[in-house]
Amino acid sequence: MRTVLECQAATACGEATKLREFPCRARSFPPLLAFRAHRTAEEERSLPRSGSHKQSVRSRLRIYLSLGTLRTLCAPREPYTLYSLHYLCCHLTSVVLRDRAFAYCRMARGLRKPFIASLRTRVLVFTLLLAMSESRALPPHLFRIPGVPQVDTIRVVWMVSFQTLAVVSSRRYLTATRRARHKCADWYQNVLLRSTNDQYRSYMRMHPSTFDHVLSLLRCHAVDVFASRLGTAQLALDVQLAIALYSFGHYGNSSRVDAVADLFGVSSGVVVKSTRRVIRGLNRLAPREIPWPNAERRAAEAEWAAETFCFENCIGATDGTTFPLAYQPALHPWSYYDRKGRYTLNAVVTCDWHGYITNIVQGCTGAAPDAFVQTLSNWHRFPHIYLSAGQCLLGDQGMKYSSWVIGPYLRPQLTTSDRRNFNYQLARLRVRSEHTIGVLKARFAERAAGAFERPERL
């Protein structure tokens, strides 16, 4: 039976040119013109009103088949309707035979969904035509192919449509001649895991023990982030974390998605998805790993600042910084343009005198001043909860001064030597916040070099 069908398919393919060269007078009778004569008032109300001239012939036929009007169309006493149906079937046959070869050629990624939808419509149409032919409800000479019975022709066209749909649905991209990209995952197993501590630190920007600690935290508190919703297996969590950290610690050509994918032996999509999963996991760990100091720790920090720089009740410093974006955002780009002529995100970082970050406020655009970002922090909104009586933070001249934020004297008020000395001592102590931000950006160079992809993903 399969050999007979293949022979019939070859016969149908040989006659495809005859079907395409249908007489021009057939086009003078639009197929939809005869269809409208058989609609009832109820069917007219049920038809969609979204542009009758814009819908294709195949989608129209699908509507009429669902309304049960195909039997009326096949009545032999209606010559115009039969002629229109003949033209429609010939058109569908030629399109199917053409798309059978087109499915194995290059096709843009955006055409996959409409192409599959069109194939499903054709399979439905020819299935109904085949059922009508089996029940002898179809005119005998609808498909005029010499030497081939009409039923066999419909079977062959249905088989070609079904096989094309199966082939296209089983492939992610409709490109048969894609260039294979050879990759190898030996670098992670044989180079990274066997490297020395200094080499490992240059790759991952942290010590191996720190990597293991972060990995254990992600497995304990963010395991659902790395679980597939469909139940399929994902890349190992340690490999995903390594991919993200390697991307964070490099910039330029070394941090390209293609370069990281080739290094770890994965695809570019895996690199992007792994990085996003790691970022979501780290965001979940942020409240746990960046806690606000308790009363005892704040008292110790205030005592150290008073003994060393004579600033009483100062528990830390706060400062604003920017993180450049890789390219101009598509939505409201002017709001990301900062004073340095870059498209950035603004953040306010608060740290203690030992360089530990105690609070960070991020998500504002680069055009937002530090004083505005400061007002979004919890310690500014609820100072009676986060600060004890008389405690304060040190900030620069861009921060919003208050009873819990002390800054330097500005130029009009900088008139005496005592105030100049106050600014000097404050700068000596407040510079620790600058050092903390500098260490953070130097550790993960990509974040400081402008490799953020999309602001809405942060």
Tell me: the pLDDT tens digits for 227-284? Answer: 887 777 789 999 999 999 999 888 878 888 999 999 999 989 999 999 999 999 999 9
Q: Which of 386, 434, 394 minimizes the C-alpha distance to 314?
A: 394
Question: Residue 136: is it exposed, middle or buried by C-beta count within 10 angstroms (0-12/13-18/19+)?
Answer: exposed
- 3-class DSSP state of 358: strand
Q: Which of 259, 291, 279 minimizes the C-alpha distance to 386?
A: 291
Q: What is the pLDDT of residue 91?
A: 52
348 Cβ contact partners less than 8 Å away, ≥ 6 residues apart: 318, 319, 320, 321, 360, 361, 370, 373, 374, 377
Q: What is the pLDDT of residue 307?
A: 93
Which whole number is the average pLDDT over 155-184? 70
Residue 452, both tokens = 């953020």
Phi, psi of 402 (to 5 degrees): -160, -170
Q: What is the pLDDT of residue 107?
A: 52
pLDDT digits (tens, 9 = 90+) for 179-227: 667 778 889 989 999 999 999 999 999 999 999 999 999 999 998 899 8
Q: pLDDT band at residue 171, thresholds of 50, 70 and 90?
A: low
Task: Tell which wins on pLDDT, 290 or 126.
Answer: 290
72 Cβ contact partners less than 8 Å away, ≥ 6 residues apart: 38, 78, 81
Q: Which of 77, 70, 171 minimizes the C-alpha distance to 116?
A: 171
pLDDT digits (tens, 9 = 90+) for 21-72: 333 333 333 333 233 333 444 444 444 444 443 344 445 444 444 434 444 4
Helix, strand, coil tally for the chain in percent (to 5)? 60, 10, 35
Task: Tell which wins on pLDDT, 130 or 257.
Answer: 257
Which whole number is the average pLDDT over 129-154? 71
Q: What is the pLDDT of residue 278?
A: 95
Q: Which of 91, 82, 94 minimizes the C-alpha distance to 35?
A: 82
Q: 362 with 355: CB under 8 angstroms? A: no
Q: Domain boundaries in the chain?
A: 2-169, 186-289, 295-457
Question: Residue 273: is it exposed, middle or buried by C-beta count within 10 angstroms (0-12/13-18/19+)?
Answer: middle
Phi, psi of 440 (to 5 degrees): -65, -45
Mean model confidence pLDDT for the chain = 75
> Which of 247-256, 263-272, 289-298, 418-427 is predicted with the least confidence, judged by mean pLDDT?
247-256
Report strand pairing: 314-324 vs 392-394.
Answer: parallel
Residue 129's alpha-carbon distances to 154, 189, 197, 260, in angstroms, are: 7, 58, 71, 53
d(CA 313, CA 389): 9
pLDDT digits (tens, 9 = 90+) for 338-376: 988 999 999 999 999 999 999 999 889 999 999 999 999
Q: 124 with 62: CB under 8 angstroms? A: yes
96 Cβ contact partners less than 8 Å away, ≥ 6 residues apart: 122, 126, 157, 160, 161, 164
Which whole number is the average pLDDT over 419-430? 93
Q: pLDDT band at residue 132, thresholds of 50, 70 and 90?
A: confident
